[in-house]
Amino acid sequence: MANGKVTFDYNSCKGCGLCVTACPKKIIFLDKERINLKGYNPATVEKMEECIGCANCAMMCPDMIITVERL
Ligand code: SF4
Ligand code: SF4
| Per-residue pLDDT of the chain in tens (71 residues, 90 and over written 9) | 679 999 999 999 999 999 999 999 999 999 999 999 999 999 999 999 999 999 999 999 999 999 999 99
The CATH number given to 4-70 is 3.30.70.3270
What is the rounded CA–CA span in Å between residue 37 and residue 26? 25
The pLDDT score that the predictor gives to residue 59 is 98
b/e map 4-37, b = 16+ CB within 10 Å: bebebeeebbbbeebbbebbeeebbebbeeeebe
Residue located nearest, by CA, to atom 1 of ligand 2: 61
Chain Cα centroid distance, residue 59 = 11
The pLDDT score that the predictor gives to residue 31 is 98
Model-level pTM? 0.95
| Ligand approaching nearest to the C-alpha of 14 | 2
Q: Across the strands, what pairs with 69?
A: 5
Q: Is 14 in the pocket of ligand 1 (CB under 6 A)?
A: no
The residues, any chain, with a CB within 8 Å of residue 26's CB and separated by 6 or more, are none
Mutate to test the pocket of ligand 1, among 5, 27, 61 (most ligand atoms within 8 A of CB): 27
Q: Is 56 in the pocket of ligand 1 (CB under 6 A)?
A: yes
